[in-house]
Structure 1
Amino acid sequence: MKQNTLKIYNTLSRKKEDFDPLSPPHVGMYVCGPTVYGDAHLGHARPAITFDTVNRYLTHLGYKVRYVRNITDVGHLQGDADEGEDKIAKKAKLEQLEPMEVAQQYTDTYHRDMEALNTWKPSIEPRATGHIPEQIALVQGILDEGLGYEVNGSVYFDVLKYNEKYQYGKLSGRVLEELMSGSRDLDGQGEKRNPVDFALWKHASPEHLMKWESPWGIGFPGWHLECTAMSSKYLGKQFDIHGGGMDLMFPHHECEIAQGNACNHQDPAKYWMHNNMITINGQKMGKSLGNFITLQELFAGKHALLEQAYSPMTIRYFILTAHYRSTLDFSNEALKAAQKGYKKIINGLRIAKSLEFKADDTIPLDDIQIKQVEQSIHSAFRAMDDDFNTAQAIGHLFNLLKKINSVYTGQLQSGVFGRDVFEKMNQTYIVFVEKILGLKEEKTENQQGLLDVVLAIYSDVKTAKNYNKVDEIRSSLKDLGIVVKDMKDKIDWAYEE
């Protein structure tokens, strides 16, 4: 395993910390997954790609990662509140389906879109409805600690009592007194002792679709409860990394910390990681603003705000070109630039895989070229070690690509690097693109075979000096996004950038 130089920005401490896992080489990582009541959108893509990349890089470093990402299929109410209708149940009523039909449908489409984005499947993907007994036991444990109370069949977490021993708000920086003074006694919160208390278990009305027997009557779990129950079951009372979007920091993750301390007397996670938000043309994404774009709409280009379709790998590349803790603004201009950058990276991948070292004792080693390559390799890994800075790592990959392209075009001979450095340059580029960043070439199954046939015809008509036909073939391929490259010793092609 690589010597530990990795630093992670811990939201809890608000600083970068050396990554020191609890039980190396094992790493436990829990990431909040989707509430499955609609198609996946841009807001789902960013955490999925962010923590897929974290998983990939930790694996590259030699860690054995258990990556748990949940599916929320009950308990997430409208407005992320303790009152109101379950999001999945509401969708089920609208579509005249069973709630589990809705959950299954959108779990399947989420998986489809995550596969298109080339994310690795999590090690475990638990569902909230599959862990009701664990959640009931967790509620009972909190009651036994004296940090919860039951009212009319509902159980609430007593935040003020918890705060006598622990600090509620330490993750998000919220001050309890300010939360108290800023709270209003909304309808349905009258049974709480304090408005800041949150639901652990909710009494279900007769018309409520999703409900279970419990010691407190028929009801359903609170939204925050599932993650504590499932993370502790599969990763232990304390694990290494808890991830999710910044919008989950409060109240969801704050409540998870409170539940973990109440039951297990320790914070659930050592490191808390949060990806920042996505905006569209400078505005927050929202259905009411008309800028809510699903991933399928992006892939097909079927949305009023889109000038064209953008492939899954273009989306993945674009997300990786910004540090995960920075805001990310989607616009057609930015996506077109990402499309060009992605094609440049993939053209380089094809070239790196095709290059072979040509030994030639007459070519002296070039210390300057060697130093530049080694510096780019070192800098790319250093960027990833600095809180997974994919944006900087990609910049250093482009420096490597310049050297790879120079060998490809004959401007540099492979011998100037020596075999070891040349092979290290190529392998680093390939590993970064495919294994760490998770980018892949998007092509149809028969594309290469058809291109081989077309380029053979192109070669024949060029040899015959039929230049009208040469231009016709080049033009037709360019319309398909393919550029013919006439090399000194061969004819090749690349994606048009």
Structure 2
Amino acid sequence: MIPPLRVYNTLTREKEVFEPLNAPFVGMYVCGPTVYNDVHLGNVRTFLSFDVMYRYLQHQGYKVRYVRNITDVGHLLDESGEGEDKISRAARLEQLEPMEVVQRYTNRFHEVLSLFNFLPPSIEPTATGHILEQIKLTKALIEKGLAYEVDGSVYFDVNKYNQDHTYGKLSGRNVEELIAGQRELEGQAEKRNSIDFALWKKASPEHIMRWDSPWGPGFPGWHLECTVMSTKYLGERFDIHGGGMDLKFPHHDCEIAQSVGGYGQEPAKYWLHTNMVTINGQKMSKSLGNSILPSELISGKHPLLDQAYSPMIIRFFMLQSHYSSTLDFSNEALKAAQKGYIKLMNGLRIAKELEFTGDSDSKVNEKAQKQVEGLCDNCYRAMNDDFNTAQTIAHLFNLLKKINSIQTGALSPAELGEETFGRMLKTFLSFTEEVLGLKEENRVQPEALIGALLDIYKEAKTSKDYDKVDQIRSSLRNSGIVVKDMKDGIDWAYEE
């Protein structure tokens, strides 16, 4: 019997049986990108993890509403809450309108995710599209005595909240220790406590990203947007809230406080967090020179890289680690992943060509049949164990051994029986393509193949083997290629 899906809930610090609040509907919210930075490997790893969760839940028959936001409100450059916002700064330096900066980075984000074969979310709301909702929640928190206004800015009162609730329960932070450890920063004097966080910030005269509010011109705090967008599209209580582990504190702890204060309940039943990405065992850092962008991995143009790696090889490599484990990039690991990916794709091609052969008199090999059924079950067991893609891939390679045995004739389809044979192919294909999102990449260079055929064509023409000449001409024409006999050699063109 295959056990039910269990997920590690960061909030309870336990693996729990996944039971949606309103099955078969599942609401999933993942904190999306800030669109004033290029997409980095940590982003790709996080969104890949939730892409696979989205895929698997749908594979299991759930109707998933996957919401992933776009943070396009300008946030401040320094911890003090002062300074120029990041989008405005980029707009000024590059002489662009702020929303041009937003659109450009949003387009880049989508292009990168498309390269890695990510499914688009059900809804992709923007922070700037939900200013009214953010103002409304801020007003409600003030009315409930959990927020206060100072000179046009509004802050969440953490101490007041902590009288009846627990601030920091997701990350395990203690309020008293946070206050004691918080250094005084310039611009923090207007807060009642240093750990109070901004719901709304007063905009300086030069601040471009600004909106009217009951407290004057300003812009929302970073944490507020996710609270209003998740509840608007998924309700005040939904199933999964996710993001990178770096968001546990303060972002997700603040989201919980806002939701409890504004709506009277925590927003999500399950909190899931992905772990960090390292390079050769070190944390990525520009100062160390080991920060690699996805585009650099694909092009191979980085001092730390021996070669280029295709998007699907990178995707396969990332899936070989559990989402909650640290993922370390190295040339050795990527090259090993390249071999594994190619092996899996060769198996995919074989599996798509296999057909059941046999009749009612064929004898079933019960041992082989039981092995294959067990391997299929194992794929589900692995994914049901907190979406363990690493184990799933290992089981797919075990299934591939059986598929290869059938191709070589060492095992016949009839020995498995038609039902088990069909399940084997369906499991292998669906888990590889639909669940893990891996697809065949075109590794063949068409022009090199055409060149090779033209060399054979030239030899056949020289030896007056006109049957072969006609055969090559016909084959190429069927592929939309016309052979051109020139005075100085042989060329080709696309057929008009």
Scaled by the length of structure 1, the TM-score of the pair is 0.88
* Distance in structure 1 (CA, Å) of the matches to 2:247 and 2:331: 28
Report the counterpart of residue 173 of structure 2 in structure 1: 174
Q: Which stretch shifts more, 311-320 or 91-100?
A: 91-100
Residues 121-175 of structure 1 deviation map (CA, whole Å, 9 limit, x = unaligned): 0000011111111111111111111100000100000000000111001000001
Q: Which stretch shifts more, 67-76 or 393-402?
A: 67-76
1:366 is aligned with what amino acid? N
Unaligned runs of at least 5 residues, structure 2: 461-496
Report the counterpart of residue 117 of structure 2 in structure 1: 118
Report the counterpart of residue 484 of structure 1 in structure 2: none
Report the counterpart of residue 476 of structure 2 in structure 1: none
Q: 2:344 matched to 1:345? A: yes
SS at match of 2:241: strand
Counterpart contact for 1:77–1:223, Cα < 8 Å: no
Report the counterpart of residue 268 of structure 2 in structure 1: 269
1:56-67, aligned counterparts within 5 Å?
56-67=55-66
Report the counterpart of residue 442 of structure 1 in structure 2: 441
Q: 2:385 matched to 1:386? A: yes
Report the counterpart of residue 416 of structure 1 in structure 2: 415
Give, in angstroms, the shift of residue 182 of structure 1: 0.5
Q: 2:240 matched to 1:246? A: no
Counterpart contact for 2:74–2:88, Cα < 8 Å: no
SS at match of 1:78: coil
Q: Which stretch shifts more, 256-265 or 283-292?
A: 283-292
Q: Which stretch shifts more, 409-418 or 250-259?
A: 409-418
Give, in angstroms, the shift of residue 92 of structure 1: 1.8
Report the counterpart of residue 129 of structure 1 in structure 2: 128
SS at match of 1:226: helix
Q: Which stretch shifts more, 367-376 or 442-451?
A: 442-451
* Distance in structure 2 (CA, Å) of the matches to 1:318 and 1:170: 33
Counterpart contact for 1:4–1:19, Cα < 8 Å: no
* Distance in structure 2 (CA, Å) of the matches to 1:415 and 1:119: 37
SS at match of 1:68: strand
Report the counterpart of residue 333 of structure 1 in structure 2: 332
CA shift in 2, pair 1:92/1:411, >3 Å: same
SS at match of 1:287: coil
* Distance in structure 2 (CA, Å) of the matches to 1:290 and 1:81: 28
1:75-154, aligned counterparts within 5 Å?
75-78=74-77, 82-154=81-153
* Distance in structure 1 (CA, Å) of the matches to 2:305 and 2:390: 24
CA shift in 2, pair 1:81/1:231, >3 Å: farther
SS at match of 1:224: helix
* Distance in structure 1 (CA, Å) of the matches to 2:269 and 2:385: 18
SS at match of 2:222: coil
Give, in angstroms, the shift of residue 362 of structure 1: 6.2
Q: What is the root-mean-square deviation of aligned Cα atoms in Å?
A: 2.2
Give, in angstroms, the shift of residue 448 of structure 1: 12
Give, in angstroms, the shift of residue 87 of structure 1: 2.1
State the structure with more CA Rg: 2
Report the counterpart of residue 159 of structure 2 in structure 1: 160
Report the counterpart of residue 466 of structure 1 in structure 2: none
Report the counterpart of residue 306 of structure 1 in structure 2: 305
Report the counterpart of residue 202 of structure 1 in structure 2: 201
Work out the number of aligned pairs and report it: 457
Counterpart contact for 2:80–2:185, Cα < 8 Å: no
* Distance in structure 1 (CA, Å) of the matches to 2:191 and 2:357: 76
Counterpart contact for 2:6–2:386, Cα < 8 Å: yes
Residues 247-266 of structure 1 deviation map (CA, whole Å, 9 limit, x = unaligned): 01100000000000010000
Give, in angstroms, the shift of residue 3 of structure 1: 9.1
CA shift in 2, pair 1:423/1:245, >3 Å: same
SS at match of 2:323: coil
Q: Which stretch shifts more, 37-46 or 349-358?
A: 37-46
Counterpart contact for 2:368–2:416, Cα < 8 Å: yes
Give, in angstroms, the shift of residue 444 of structure 1: 7.2
Residues 25-53 of structure 1 deviation map (CA, whole Å, 9 limit, x = unaligned): 10100000110113212011011110000
Counterpart contact for 1:75–1:223, Cα < 8 Å: no
* Distance in structure 1 (CA, Å) of the matches to 2:279 and 2:444: 34
Give, in angstroms, the shift of residue 328 of structure 1: 0.3
Report the counterpart of residue 318 of structure 2 in structure 1: 319
* Distance in structure 1 (CA, Å) of the matches to 2:26 and 2:104: 31
Report the counterpart of residue 489 of structure 1 in structure 2: none
Give, in angstroms, the shift of residue 407 of structure 1: 0.7
Counterpart contact for 1:82–1:198, Cα < 8 Å: no
